[in-house]
Structure 1
Amino acid sequence: MKFSVCIDSVFRNMNLSEALSHVKSSGFDAFEFWNWRHKDINLMASEMKRLELSLSTFCTDGGNLVDEESHKEYLQGLKEAIIVAKRLGCGTLITQTGNELSGIPRERQIENVLTGLRLAAPIAEEAGVTLLLEPLNTTVDHPGYLLTRSSEAFELIEQVGSNYVKVLFDIYHQQISEGNLISSMLSNLPSIGHLHAAGCPGRNELQFGEIHYANVIQALRNAGYSNYFGLEFMPSAEPTLGLDYVRNLMDAS
């Protein structure tokens, strides 16, 4: 299992060079972020080389999957994100579905997501980049979002039928939406391309809240999970508090 630090959450008050330097000095070799259009890609490439850092993933931008009329814009945004990903040596991209549309049956909207993913799959496959579909919670953080449950995401991925379209299982979001975390992950491990983690409730450091992350990480290790485990928490104190906790878990296993 590899670990990645989300600089837009953990180091959200720092500039890019500061954030990446802190990732490295905290003992991690990989990072991720949210929207590439708000980043200095030239500076990022330079800092990655200087610090010997890898980029695990970031988000696509443009259009959405839930609206069929938006698919052309979505696919263009995907192609643009792939160009950035290839330049930075990044092998995965995060996609969200978008919010529910009023006046349209939910089943139709899910079908739109499936259609969009089927259109995106050959683009991702040709580029050698894996697309990560992310369910989010609507109770606390993302009211109105279409896809909330991992079970529905795994169903969609199965119907797409591409090794280049997988699920981003966000442990924090899924604790709110459905619980049963370890069982859900282990029974669908081949379909998980990336993990996100934060304490719940609060989305703070992993050691705070109701999720026993030591058990979660050990279960994933025992099951042979080898992709990235992304740290996407909002620090309640100095960021090193949460990162040191994860480092201790890494060293103990």
Structure 2
Amino acid sequence: MPRFAANLTMMYNEHTFLERFAAAARDGFKAVEFLFPYDFRAGELKSRLDASGLTQALFNAPPGDWAGGERGLAALPGREDEFRRSIDTALGYARELGNRKLHVMAGIAPKGQPREKLRDIYLKNLAYAAQTAQAGQITIVIEPINTRDMPGYFLNRQDDAQAICAEVGAPNLKVQFDCYHCQIVEGDLATKLKRDMAGIGHIQIAGVPERHEPDIGELNYPYLFDLIDSLGYDGYIGCEYRPRAATSAGLGWLRPYLDAAR
């Protein structure tokens, strides 16, 4: 039976951020994820999780200057010290929130830099992150992201992400399989899920192409949920989509799964 986590960055925007935890719990979610926690004290977020009986499923390490267009640090030359500090910050939050999965973003590839140089930096930084996270039993995940939504992002394909994880060789480094991004870049999701499930650490969903609820668009999510179950995935599936209107009103797709879980 699939287990779903509400993405509080994209969902429940009709509420202030701290109010979104309770709203998600009222709708039946048992877990949440979001992009970044760093505008709030970890203790404040933990109190919201506990008050609503929620598990923190995932968040991202600091991405650099997000407002300035940066989308991660891990593949950027000359930013290694900043990257290591960002991992230390993220792991401090993860420990307090009880979060076991941390998404590390690669970043926008700088123009004029050889890809092999960036890849070497990326692998070394990921090795550091995985080694540092291992003592806390935290899994580092990397996510291929489509270049329509994030032009120039360093990592775009599932096979490349799996190869990078294999080359680093850390048992707690895995791939974040976002169905939305994968469909836009590659398609053939079922085959890739079957091929790569052993190396997948987190799954996310959204309708394609508009990134709305997973009940509209190109993907047959009921089929994919059954497949994911059959492949033995027991983590949360992150609902990283933009609701068409009010979040709660658009959760008809979720209710059959909540009813079955009861």
**Structure 1 stretch displaced more, 56-65 or 12-21:** 12-21
CA distance in 1, matches of 2:7, 2:91: 19
Task: Please state whether the residue corresponding to 1:236 is helix, strand or coil.
Answer: coil
Cα deviations across residues 148-191 of structure 1 (Å, max 9, x unaligned)?
11110011011111111111111001100111111111211111
Contact 1:16 1:44 in 2 (8 A): no
Cα deviations across residues 54-105 of structure 1 (Å, max 9, x unaligned)?
1001010055111231122111101111111100111111111000111111
Cα deviations across residues 131-161 of structure 1 (Å, max 9, x unaligned)?
110110002x101111111110011011111
Contact 1:195 1:229 in 2 (8 A): yes
- Which aligned pairs between 1:71-150 and structure 2 lie closer than 5 A? 71-139=80-148, 141-150=149-158
Contact 1:68 1:116 in 2 (8 A): no
Aligned residue for 1:68? 77
> What amino acid is aligned across from residue 85 of structure 1 in structure 2?
A
CA distance in 2, matches of 1:172, 1:232: 9
> What amino acid is aligned across from residue 122 of structure 1 in structure 2?
Q
Aligned residue for 1:225? 233
CA distance in 2, matches of 1:133, 1:87: 22
Cα deviations across residues 21-50 of structure 1 (Å, max 9, x unaligned)?
111111111001111112343322112111
Length-normalised TM-score, structure 1: 0.94
Contact 2:180 2:211 in 1 (8 A): yes
Contact 1:24 1:53 in 2 (8 A): yes
CA distance in 2, matches of 1:157, 1:7: 28
CA distance in 1, matches of 2:55, 2:5: 9
Query: Structure 1 residues 225 and 56, CA, compared in 2 at 3 Å: closer, same or farther?
Result: same
Task: Please state whether the residue corresponding to 1:204 is helix, strand or coil.
Answer: coil
CA distance in 1, matches of 2:31, 2:96: 16
Aligned residue for 2:218? 210
> What amino acid is aligned across from residue 117 of structure 2 in structure 1?
R
Aligned residue for 1:180? 188
Query: Structure 1 residues 138 and 212, CA, compared in 2 at 3 Å: closer, same or farther?
Result: same
Task: Please state whether the residue corresponding to 2:134 is helix, strand or coil.
Answer: helix
CA distance in 2, matches of 1:166, 1:241: 34
Aligned residue for 2:39? 38
Aligned residue for 2:175? 167
Provide the alpha-carbon RMSD of the alignment.
1.5
Aligned pair partner of 2:203 in 195, 211, 218 = 195
Q: Does 1:52 align with 2:61?
A: no
Length-normalised TM-score, structure 2: 0.91
Contact 1:198 1:204 in 2 (8 A): yes
Task: Please state whether the residue corresponding to 1:57 is helix, strand or coil.
Answer: strand
Task: Please state whether the residue corresponding to 1:244 is helix, strand or coil.
Answer: helix
> What amino acid is aligned across from residue 7 of structure 1 in structure 2?
L
In the TM superposition, residue 250 of structure 1 has moved relative to its aligned partner by 5.0
Cα deviations across residues 105-148 of structure 1 (Å, max 9, x unaligned)?
12221222112111222101122211110110002x10111111
Contact 1:35 1:58 in 2 (8 A): yes
Unaligned runs of 5+ in 2: 65-72
Query: Structure 1 residues 26 and 176, CA, compared in 2 at 3 Å: closer, same or farther?
Result: same
Contact 2:194 2:231 in 1 (8 A): yes
CA distance in 2, matches of 1:82, 1:183: 33
**Structure 1 stretch displaced more, 111-120 or 162-171:** 111-120
Task: Please state whether the residue corresponding to 2:23 is helix, strand or coil.
Answer: helix
